[in-house]
Each structure stands twice: as C-alpha cells, then as structure tokens.
Amino acid sequence: MKNVFLGSFITFFFIFSCNKDNTNQHSNNINVNNSLKTKSQEYTIDTNISSVNWTGYKIEKSLNLSHFGTLSFKKGFLKTKNNNVESGILYIDMNSIKNHDIQNSSQNNKLINTLKNKDFFSVTKYPIAEFVLNSVQKIDGNSDFNFSLIGTLKIKGQSKNIRVKTNIRNENDKLFLNTEKFSINRKDFNLNYQGLPNILIQDHFDLQISLVANSKNTCN
C-alpha cells in the first residue's frame, strides 16, 4: 500500500512539472513574438505651423542681392516604423507663396505675381508641388543633422531626385523635421524666366523645409 501511494505521488509530481514547463515555454514564446512585432505610426503635417522657406538670387549669389519668403503646405504625412521616419509625401501649396523682404506693398505684389505667372511657377496650371520621401538614412557623427532624406521633388510637372540632410526629433507624439538649406536648379523644373534686361536672376535657388507633424497611432 505504501509503495502504491509513493508511486502515485511521483506520477503526480512528474505531470505537474511537465505542465509547468509547458506553461513557461508558452509564456516565453508569447514574449518572443511580442518583441518581434514592429510598431508603425502615421503623422499628419500641421499646416498652420509648417512651411517651406525659399531664397532666390539675382546675378550674384549673395544675401544683399536676394529675395526670400515662404510657401505653405496643403497637406502631407510621414510614416514611421519603430520611431524612425521611413516614408511620406508632402504637398506644397504654390498659391501660398509669400515674400518677406520687400516692404513696399506694390513692389511685393509685383514680385509675387511674377513668381505665379507662366514664366515661373504657373500656379494656375500647377497649383501643387510635391515631395515624395522614398527612404531615410541615418547620419552618424553630425551634431546638426541626424538623417538624410532621399526622395523626388516635383514642381511644375517636372520631377527631380534629391537628397537632403535633416534633423528629426520625435517628442510627445509629434515629429519635428528641419532640413538644411538646399539648392535646386530652376531650369530642371522649366522655371525659365530670365528677369529684366538689367536684373538677371540665378539659375539656382534655395529651399529649406521646417515642419511639425502630429501622430495618428497605428500598429502592424
């Protein structure tokens, strides 16, 4: 009788131990699977506080022979994976172009009308410019810019691949993105206006993107 009781106890202990091991294994599998999940988020551009800064130059590329201003975004989004920006698209409202250096209102309006007409941005036919972000690469050892944006800029129906250094911060469900000032050739986008006979303009002009985007949480 004593041997029967001892045998039953050993059998019960063995079964309990196996079940506990299986439970632990199942728990470990769940933890591993959870750790393999990637988190994706989509951010929408806050058009009220985001802008594209532009600078155009006359015959000599110097600040005292330049005009500068801003463009607003129509809309846009950025997508992140594991808190890193990986893709997106920005829509720029070409009708929103403004000049900030000419104080005389009539001269300011004259410049804006020139930029909007068919010799320059032709905003009636091409009201939206686009920047499609195809990929983002990490920059190591740079205190000012931590990523490179690689994408396609489309203005006036013409597309050009560009690569731009930028600083990206992710804070409290917001993305803050500020690029370097980068130069593009206006003739790549059929912006062929030459200026007046005594005031020529440079082929290259500068852009700088500054934006804030708000998170819309999504998970894969």
Is residue 100 located within the same domain as residue 172? Answer: yes
pLDDT at 169 over 70: yes
What is the model's pTM? 0.79
Q: Which of the residue ranges 12-26, 94-108, 206-220 would you say has the lowest mean pLDDT?
A: 12-26
Tell whether 140 and 97 lie within a shared domain: yes
Q: Is 71 exposed, middle or buried (0-12, 13-18, 19+ CB in 10 A)?
A: buried
* Mean pLDDT, range 30-50, rounded to an integer: 74
Residue 63 and residue 94 in one domain: yes
- What is d(CA 213, CA 50) in angstroms, rounded to the nearest whole number? 8
- At 27, the amino acid letter reads S
Say yes or no to pLDDT of 76 above 60: yes
What CATH number did the domain enclosing 206 receive? 2.40.128.110
pLDDT at 197: 54
The range of the structural domain enclosing residue 7 comes to 1-36
Query: In Å, what is the CA distance from 134 to each residue of 119, 163, 176, 181?
Result: 30, 10, 18, 20
